[in-house]
Amino acid sequence: MICLLCQTKKYESDTLLQVLGLKKVLERPICDDCNNQFAAIFTSCKGCGRHQGNNQLCTDCVRWQIDGKRLLQHRALYQYNDAMKLFMQRYKFYGEYAIRHVFNRKLKDLVKSRDTDMVVPIPVSYHTLMTRGFNQTIGLFENVRLTDLLVTIKSSKQRQSKFSRYDRLNREQFFMIENKTAVIGKDITLVDDVYTTGMTLYHAADILYQAGAKNVKSCSLAR
């Protein structure tokens, strides 16, 4: 097997059971050395999935509650450490689409554990699609059945900074929903690549709730 990340050849001696096909060979797209660089999240804030010593709500999440939001009960696989930053840089900035497979299986398991009716990815802008050529979130969750019904409006990224927190929460909208009736009464999992401030996901959730979604949770690769 050749490691997807460091491209070096690693030989694994298959056990006899695997050779005989009696035991399913585990899918392992990266080597142990690379895998050990990532820091998994074990206990975390029950609101945003932030890595911490207990599962109490963190101050950010308390603030979201004060702002009147229903918490997303976000879950992420990994902390946003140096290795994850580097991964995201290769994947998004250098556009190395091939490495989207690294976490496919684990992310599929994560989404499965949320047990909702529908999984909706955060969309990317037209400009990103025409330069990077792919939606990074859809790539990460490739083997999950996704309902891609959000679209971006305008270049929200640049405008974000011009508004106060209140404005950003209440006036500016990043997304539009393409098929509103599809979400009525549904339990939805929103998926994204990284949860940073939560702003993006809460916006998407607002729109889904407005369209009649029953419940919206979220997950991502990193937090």
Partner 1 sequence: MDRYYGRQIVVPKIDAITAGLKIRPCFINDVCQRCGQINHYILPNQQFYCKACFILGRVSSLDVMLSLPEPNHFSNQVELTWKGQLTKQQNRVSNALLKTFSKNGEHLVWAVTGAGKTEMMFPLIYMALKQSKRVAIVSPRVDVIVELAPRIQEAFMNTDLAVLYGDQNEAYQYTPLVLATTHQMLNFRAAFDLMIIDEVDSFPYAGNQMLEYGVEKARKQLSTLIYLTATPTKKLRKKSNAGLIATSYLPLRFHQNLLPEIVTKTINDWRKKLPTKCLKQLQTFYKNQQRFLIFVPKVADTKTLCKVIKSHIPEMKGDFVSASDDLRQEKVESMRQENIQYLVTTTILERGVTFPGIDVIIFGAEEDTFTENALVQIAGRVGRSKERPTGLVQAYVQHINFKILAAQRQIKSMNKKGRMLKNQL
Given its phi and psi angles, is residue 185 left (phi above 0), alpha (psi -120 to 50 degrees) or beta?
Answer: left
Among 95, 153, 157, 176, binds partner 1 (CB under 8 A): 95
Give the integer Cα–Cα distance in Å for 100 and 62. 33
Residue 97 interacting partner from partner 1, Zn ion, none (CB closer than 5 to 8 Å by kind): partner 1
Distance CA 91, CA 85 (A): 10
Secondary structure (3-state) at 152 = strand
Residue 106 CB neighbours (<10 A): 15
209 binds partner 1 (CB under 8 A): no
What would the x/- binding string for Zn ion be over residues 47 to 66, using CB under 5 A? xx-x-------x--x-----
Work out whether 189 is an interface residue with partner 1 (CB under 8 A). Answer: no
**Based on CB atoms, which residue is closest to partner 1, 68 or 133?**
133
CA dist., res. 218 & res. 192, Å (int):
8
In angstroms, what is the minimal distance from the CB of 134 to partner 1?
5
Report the residue number, 48 or 177, with the smaller CB distance to Zn ion.
Answer: 48
Contact call for residue 135 and partner 1 (CB under 8 A): yes
